[in-house]
Structure 1
């Protein structure tokens, strides 16, 4: 019983470390990208696009800083 509890704690600790390392790597590599508008989670910048004049919307988004 005690061993299964320790195993669960060890697995959760490993998972936490892996998630933190992944987030750290993403933040570290994010500085290499050119500046642009801040995206929303899951939908990105979709709400900033005008679907009727897609070309003009994409040009405007690409020039925003």
Structure 2
């Protein structure tokens, strides 16, 4: 039971990190207002979020 709770907690932490990254992208770069549709938009948002994450890692030195 403890292992199940631990696995659930790890999944929640991971999801919280992803949601935070997407939220930061939406607030900072206006990613909700994209001119692209469908898969092109999805690719653009994913790329922008990846770049935000890398920039944050470089800024914090981790």
Q: Output the TM-score relative to the length of structure 2.
A: 0.49
More helix by share: 2
Larger radius of gyration: 1
Q: Output the TM-score relative to the length of structure 1.
A: 0.47
| More relative contact order, 1 or 2 (CA 8 Å, 6+ apart) | 2
